[in-house]
Structure 1
Amino acid sequence: MRTARTRSRTLGASALLLAALGVLAGPALPASAHNTVIGETPDADSTVTTQPGTVALETSDALLDAEGATAMDVIGPDGRHYASPCPSVDRAVASVPVELGPEGEYTVEWRVVSADGHPITGEFAFTWAPSDAEQLVEGTDDAACAQGAGEASEPGDATDAETDAAASGGLGDLLWVVGGAAVVVLAGLVAFLVMRRRPAAQGHDDADADATGPTDADDGPAADR
């Protein structure tokens, strides 16, 4: 009876520990997952016949909306730039206005920073095949923004976006450390409670055995008589 009760308490303590691990790990897993691209406008490798007006990139999670965090450039077949002005961010979508020029393949180079501080860079291309009714524009020799998506930052030229990203990444690391410490403390507490109850349960079992033993022994002679 006591042994079954002890096992029940041990199982209950184990269930409590697993539940606590789930609570602590639950918020941390989404935070640690890296952001990914889920869509482009125009679609990658597609053919466009009318002025798109906007080039956009959608990701699976929110983006950092800070100066210098996002860069998008649209480069035409003539090597000129067709995106103007600088890109903007709306939650998980980065976009930039664009008017295209000569027919051919256009490449979109982009760089974004996730809200958790993780930077992502990439590019995609589409084909521009305008109809006769479409008005074409001339590109520029330089990107509309001072720093294009494919250009690296100069050493020591940290922006507010980079500072915010570093702070966000540091906060994520801190949450992992605090969560891990909490798990260790909770596991130790559960182990202490389980070990503390075991000697008490064993003592009750021994006492019951002592009390039962003489009764059985006394019954023997009585049965013989």
Structure 2
Amino acid sequence: MTSPSAPRRRSLPAVLVSLLLAAAVLFVPATPASAHDELVSTDPAADAVLEAVPQRITLTFSADVLTDPGATVVEVTDASGASLAEGAPEPSGTEVTQALAGSASGVVTVKWRVVSSDGHPIDGSFAFTVPEAAPTPTATPTTSASASPSPTVSASAAPTEAETPVAAPVEESSASSPLPWILLAVALVIVAGVLVYVFASRGRRNAAGGGTTGR
């Protein structure tokens, strides 16, 4: 006769193997995902507003990136799509540096692709903004325009000197005003009045002296 406990003993190892396989299935997919490197920071930062295009862009990752030829790619373009990158990117340890050249205004887009330390390629992108610069060329026309009226100033100086003789007759006409003659007439009237008063006073005194002598 077959023992009823025999099937149960034979099924126990199979259950343990199934549990181990299930646990392996749960933990194995998470292992490669956690091994991938990631972008930690950028200089300039994403969405930054700068006064001008920087001389270089620096990308910092969580681990060393591979330095194999062609493994690192950095594209930097302005709002029109023109490239601002100068030369090839330079990976060193956890950092990747890309030199820039030229000027731009508006949104500058950075696209990057590197191979992480586990051999898996990763990529991404970010952008920063460079506002439009002040219209510097306007200063040059302003200077030339201000220099051009210089002959006009010198030309206006000549008529000013020519008008100077016209001012002299105006002063002479003001000097020939009747005010001095009026003052002279008033002075003569005053002097004549004083003389009349003096002579009248003397006549009265003489008349008074003659009457006293007759008595």
Query: Which TM-score bucket, shorter chain as reference?
Result: 0.3 to 0.5
- TM-score normalised by the chain length of structure 2: 0.45
Task: Name the structure, 1 or 2, with higher relative contact order (CA <8 Å, separation 6+).
Answer: 1
Q: Name whichever structure is richer in helix by fraction.
A: 2
